[in-house]
């Protein structure tokens, strides 16, 4: 591994260890997270930054994507959302009409006797992860343009060094987003039937086993699912022409609709058979496709951002119409 690649990985892993959530509601195991993270990187188009599309970046993203499950604490609630069969979250806000902020989401849940930590806030964790990635890209754009339009060798050197650090941070944040998006593709993470059908009406006699998750999330993926399986099932990029909140809502609603099919599949043949494997491939492919699309959308959105203090539009920096050295570097 080249020295630069090692340094970027160190930056990414350090940030991951400091900031990532725990996951009692883990999905897919280390193998699944690795696949989603690396394949999303491989699938990026040529107009996205090259540093994210290299094999080494894919490996780094894959490793970061699995690490949130090493932590424990309140942030575990970032990995799931308890959605009822009526698409309401803990009898409160509907998954199809998410409140426009996490604060209002929590207030809506509290009115029903719940809160964001009990009901989970996976939709908002994905939104936050996407917004952070878009800001990462904005600062990377500013660094690249700043080096190009620098007024002195010292300015150019600073921007190039900052670009190097920014790439490591961005790799970390792509891996973190990949983890959350992968969790959002697992139907049990978007359902009150999170591990066995639970204490709900169950006329179809779906499994109530507390080992329901473990049988297919880790063992089947590790033993039977590979990158070629998932790559073949991915769909083309989808521009929803909507807000990130709407996009995340649509994605999680589509996942929630797979809860009953998953229980039906298990009832028909258990957790390790051809039908279950096909189901898992489709879910991991959905995560990988969505992860790729969110990265693309964040990249496109980043050119509309402003960076630094005082804020300077990225477009002005890239056009050479504004010098961002003091604003981005900070002078206080």
* CB-based contact 121:78 (threshold 8 Å): yes
| Residue 306: strand, helix, or coil | strand
Q: Confidence band (pLDDT; 50, 70, 90) for 212?
A: confident
Q: Confidence band (pLDDT; 50, 70, 90) for 7?
A: low
* CB-based contact 235:283 (threshold 8 Å): no
Q: What was the pLDDT predicted at 157?
A: 98
* CB-based contact 68:176 (threshold 8 Å): yes
Residue boundaries of the structural domains of the chain: 3-325
CA distance 253 to 202: 21
* CB-based contact 235:289 (threshold 8 Å): yes
Q: How far is CA 211 from the centre of its chain?
A: 26
Question: Which pairing describes strands 306-307 and 312-313: parallel, antiparallel, or unpaired?
Answer: antiparallel
CATH no. for 3-325: 1.10.575
CA distance 184 to 126: 9
Q: Confidence band (pLDDT; 50, 70, 90) for 24?
A: very low
């Amino acid at each position: 591994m080249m020295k630069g690649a090692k340094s970027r990985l160190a930056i990414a892993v350090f940030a991951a260890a400091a900031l990532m959530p725990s996951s009692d509601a883990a999905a897919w195991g280390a193998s699944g997270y690795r696949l989603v993270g690396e394949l999303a990187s491989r699938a990026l188009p040529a107009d996205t930054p090259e540093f994210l599309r290299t094999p080494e970046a894919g490996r780094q993203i894959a490793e970061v994507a699995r690490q949130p499950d090493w932590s424990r604490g309140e942030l575990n609630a970032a990995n799931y959302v308890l959605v009822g069969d009526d698409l309401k979250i803990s009898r409160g806000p509907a998954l199809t009409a998410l409140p426009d902020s996490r604060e209002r989401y929590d207030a809506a849940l509290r009115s029903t006797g719940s809160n964001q930590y009990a009901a989970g806030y996976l939709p908002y964790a994905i939104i936050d992860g996407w917004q952070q990635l878009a800001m990462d890209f904005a600062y990377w754009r500013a660094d690249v343009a700043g080096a190009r339009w620098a007024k002195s060798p010292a300015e150019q050197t600073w921007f190039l060094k900052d670009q190097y650090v920014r790439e490591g941070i961005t790799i970390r944040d792509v891996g973190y987003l990949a983890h959350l998006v992968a969790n959002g593709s697992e139907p049990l993470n978007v359902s009150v039937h999170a591990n066995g059908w639970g204490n709900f009406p169950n006329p179809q006699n779906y499994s109530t086993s507390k080992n329901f998750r473990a049988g297919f999330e880790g063992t089947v993926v590790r033993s039977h699912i590979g990158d070629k399986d998932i790559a073949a099932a991915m769909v083309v990029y989808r521009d929803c022409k909507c807000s990130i909140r709407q996009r995340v809502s649509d994605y999680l609603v589509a996942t929630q609709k797979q809860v009953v099919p998953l229980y039906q599949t298990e009832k028909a043949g258990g957790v390790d058979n051809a039908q279950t494997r096909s189901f898992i491939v489709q879910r991991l492919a959905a995560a990988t496709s969505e992860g790729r699309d969110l990265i693309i959308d964040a990249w496109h959105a980043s050119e509309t951002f402003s960076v630094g203090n005082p804020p300077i539009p990225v477009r002005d920096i890239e056009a050479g119409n504004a010098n961002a050295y003091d604003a981005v570097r900070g002078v206080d």
